[in-house]
Amino acid sequence: MEEHSNQQTSSINTDLQTKLLINNQHDHKGGMKSMPFIIVNEAFEKVASYGLTPNMILYLTEVYHMEAATGSSILYIWSAFSNGLSVFGGFISDSYLGPFRVIAIGSFSTLVGMIILWLTSVVPQLTPESCNESDVSCSLSTPIQLTFLFSAFGLMSIGSGCIRPCCIAFGAQQLKQARIGDSQRLIDSYFNWYYVSVSVSAFVAVTVVVYIQDRFGWRVGYAVPVCIMFCSALVFLIGSPLYVKTEVKDSPYFGFVQVLIMAFKNRRIRLQPDDCYNHCNEMERVELTDNLRFLNKACVVRDMDVDSSRLHPTVENVESLKSVIRMVPVWSTGILLFTNVSLAYPTLQAKTMNRHVSSWLEIPAASFSVFMVLTLLIWVAFYDRLLVPFLAKYTHDPRGLNLKARMGIGLFISIIAMMVAAIVETTRRDLAGSNMPVVMSALWLVPQYVLLGLAEAFNVIGLLDYCYSELPKNMSSIAMAVFTLSSAVAGLVGSLLVNIVDLTTSRGGHVSWLSSDIDEGHLDYYYWLLGFLNLLNFLYFLICCPLHRSSTSAVIE
């Protein structure tokens, strides 16, 4: 008897030691020690990617001999794919591969795309022959040359679509899964450092990388992002033993599709007050709401056994989909602002203006967007540290201003930004067309960049917070995907708008507003058009705000 007791005690001790060993092994993974690898990976990827974008319009027009409107349209589409594929990347991560594998695949894809882009600047056969200023016409790009160029864009878009939606979630996952006392405080700190790293990366990209491209040419200028991206992928893979890699669970995307299919299938039934609804036992129980009532038919349970109800959409699935649908009108108002921020034409304007700050310092044409980044950084710090505590006393909102107020202010500032841009361009064009040998200073472009930085600080950051606030906590990855999707739609809208304006204004042999020779075109008219569209967008936002409801009365079950 005593021997049996000793064996049982020994078995318990062995099990306890095994559990402690497992926990100790788990404690060695995740936590703050994994953060440098994730943040450095994201920061380097941003430096490499953002370093290519500002000067790309010059690369397309000068090296590939594209028209300004064509090049601008291509850049808008590239941006649309890069951001739109984030939804696909998030879906693959949540449903199949997990964030670690998706980020690794994205890093490799981006690296290969950048290498191909660099090769177009090194191998003469991959770009059209250079043109002299006296040449009336230049040779166009061949299909093979465009294939290499668009392959580079495509691979970099796939990489961005894999990295951007997963990095934030993967970093937060390390802190949530690790055994840390105050994990929420560390997660908040992580988000702060994440956005600081992104802003600093953008600053370095539009200053250092753009300067290298201007000073040393495309070969060296494109080799630098390749080296940076290689370091990004290498650092991320080196940290692999430290990462917590959780198993992939059911994706909420499948729940959305299931709700839509079942709602359509049950479209003819009539809901009754005594209907029963299918709930998920693994989530917090929520109440079914009256708005978008036709979706409630997806989760109604009638004459079904327990096993078959498991295949039925749940109330939680229905309410999650409703949350996404409810936020669409307000979310859509941010699309045009992203279009304004992504404008490529100010780089062409700066190229024709005096960019000397002093006799020894000349700002690269593509680096003027740094004023937008600096404005964003300074305003966010000022608002978060000084204005929020002051405004919270009067608004009784811990954020200072409520989210819709911040978004509305950003949309209004974007109207003013486009008006200022139009006035500056009118002045520049008049001076360029006069007989006076006066070259306008490019510093006159700074006010529109500052205003766009303020508009982005108010609206875009408010929009991100809005997406996270309106959706349930278990849908944080979808919130990021919805936010990124607005940038993707903005790219398509910008490309469509550029093509429509270019085709319409060039009819009858007239010079297009968006002519490659901006002195002959009317870029100022295009800015006035954008200002008018932003005004309509602001009025649309004012209509959407009162109509939006984040919650409604519950259905009696």
Is the pLDDT confidence value at 24 over 50?
no
- Give residue-wise pLDDT tens across range 508-519: 888 899 988 888
Q: What is the pLDDT of residue 42?
A: 80
Task: Please report which confidence band the pLDDT of residue 21 belongs to, taking 50, 70 and 90 as the band edges.
Answer: very low
CATH number, domain at 379? Answer: 1.20.1250.20
Find the range with the poorest average confidence among 260-274, 416-430, 491-505: 260-274
Q: Assess if residue 148 is contained within a domain.
A: yes
Is the pLDDT confidence value at 91 over 70?
yes
Interatomic CA distance for residues 288 and 275, integer angstroms: 12
Domain check: are 107 and 52 in the same one?
yes
Most confident of 437-441, 470-474, 495-499: 495-499
Find the range with the poorest average confidence among 260-264, 287-291, 487-491: 287-291
Rg of the chain taking only CA atoms, in angstroms: 27
Is 7 or 244 the better-scoring residue by pLDDT?
Answer: 244
Domain check: are 338 and 307 in the same one?
no
3-state secondary structure of 346: helix
- Give residue-wise pLDDT tens across range 160-210: 888 877 877 787 777 766 555 545 556 555 665 666 677 788 888 888 999
Pull the structure tokens for residue 481.
Answer: 């995907």
Is 290 or 430 the better-scoring residue by pLDDT?
Answer: 430
Domain check: are 433 and 302 in the same one?
no
CB 288 within 8 A of CB 318: yes
Is 215 or 137 the better-scoring residue by pLDDT?
Answer: 215
Domain check: are 377 and 230 in the same one?
no
Q: How many angstroms separate the Cα of 14 from the Cα of each of 3, 23, 118?
A: 16, 14, 58
Domain check: are 301 and 337 in the same one?
no
Domain check: are 342 and 219 in the same one?
no
Q: Assess if residue 96 is contained within a domain.
A: yes
Domain check: are 121 and 170 in the same one?
yes
Q: Assess if residue 324 is contained within a domain.
A: no
Domain check: are 430 and 491 in the same one?
yes
- Give residue-wise pLDDT tens across range 319-329: 888 888 888 88
Q: What is the pLDDT of residue 476?
A: 62
Question: Which stretches within 293-369 are classed as H helix?
Answer: 306-309, 315-332, 335-341, 345-351
- Give residue-wise pLDDT tens across range 28-46: 666 677 777 888 888 888 8
Interatomic CA distance for residues 163 and 103, integer angstroms: 5
Interatomic CA distance for residues 349 and 185, integer angstroms: 45
Q: Assess if residue 287 is contained within a domain.
A: no
Domain check: are 435 and 467 in the same one?
yes
In terms of Cβ atoms closer than 10 Å to its own Cβ (0-12, 13-18, 19+), residue 459 is: buried
Terminal CA-CA length for the chain: 58
Is 360 or 138 the better-scoring residue by pLDDT?
Answer: 360
| Rounded average pLDDT over 222-230 | 94
Domain check: are 260 and 384 in the same one?
no
Is the pLDDT confidence value at 226 over 50?
yes
Q: Assess if residue 307 is contained within a domain.
A: yes
Q: Assess if residue 2 is contained within a domain.
A: no
Is the pLDDT confidence value at 11 over 60?
no
CB 173 within 8 A of CB 34: no
Return the H-helix or E-strand segment holding 7: helix 2-27
Q: 289 pairs with which residues across the strands?
A: 554
Q: What is the pLDDT of residue 505?
A: 92
Domain check: are 417 and 465 in the same one?
yes
Q: What is the pLDDT of residue 224?
A: 94
Q: Assess if residue 95 is contained within a domain.
A: yes
3-state secondary structure of 300: strand
Interatomic CA distance for residues 52 and 54, integer angstroms: 6
Domain check: are 340 and 432 in the same one?
yes
Interatomic CA distance for residues 385 and 404, integer angstroms: 20
Q: What is the pLDDT of residue 252?
A: 67
Task: Please report which confidence band the pLDDT of residue 307 belongs to, taking 50, 70 and 90 as the band edges.
Answer: very low
Q: What is the pLDDT of the chain when averaged over all its residues? A: 80
Interatomic CA distance for residues 505 and 62, integer angstroms: 23
Per the structure, the complete domain to which residue 34 belongs is given by 29-129+139-247
Q: Assess if residue 23 is contained within a domain.
A: no
pTM of the complete model beyond 0.75? yes
Task: Please report which confidence band the pLDDT of residue 551 belongs to, taking 50, 70 and 90 as the band edges.
Answer: very low
CB 40 within 8 A of CB 201: no
3-state secondary structure of 277: strand
Is the pLDDT confidence value at 431 over 50?
yes
In terms of Cβ atoms closer than 10 Å to its own Cβ (0-12, 13-18, 19+), residue 294 is: exposed
3-state secondary structure of 28: coil
- Give residue-wise pLDDT tens across range 324-383: 888 888 889 989 998 998 888 898 899 889 988 887 888 888 888 889 888 888 887 788
Is the pLDDT confidence value at 223 over 80?
yes
Task: Please report which confidence band the pLDDT of residue 12 belongs to, taking 50, 70 and 90 as the band edges.
Answer: very low
CB 229 within 8 A of CB 44: yes
Interatomic CA distance for residues 525 and 423, integer angstroms: 10
Domains: count for the chain:
3
